[in-house]
Amino acid sequence: MKTFLVIVFWIALLGGTGYAAYETWVGLNDVEISTHGKFALALGVTATFALGAGLMCLVFYSSRKGYDADDHIEAAKPRTNDD
């Protein structure tokens, strides 16, 4: 039952987001975007997607190589001769 409620919540959230995006898109009908503006928009979306994808790749790479493990963190700490 809990899983079902979580799925219903996410579907409702997705639907609400889609509705808000649609209303925003329809509300901007009177706005003109120049060719330079469209180019800048496309470049910004592409750069944002590439940055997000690159960071996610680094997260997965770091996790698979064990850089996030506790033993790696302990090994990186400087040793002192206080013993």
Reported as a single tens digit per residue, the pLDDT across 12-41 is 999 999 999 999 888 887 778 899 998 998
For the chain, give the percent of residues with pLDDT over 90.
54
Which amino acid is located at 50 in the chain? A
pTM of the model: 0.50
Domain ranges of the chain: 1-30, 32-78
What mean pLDDT is predicted for residues 50-79?
A: 80
20-to-8, 33, 42, 47, 50 alpha-carbon distances in Å: 18, 21, 21, 24, 25
Q: Note the pLDDT of residue 49.
A: 96
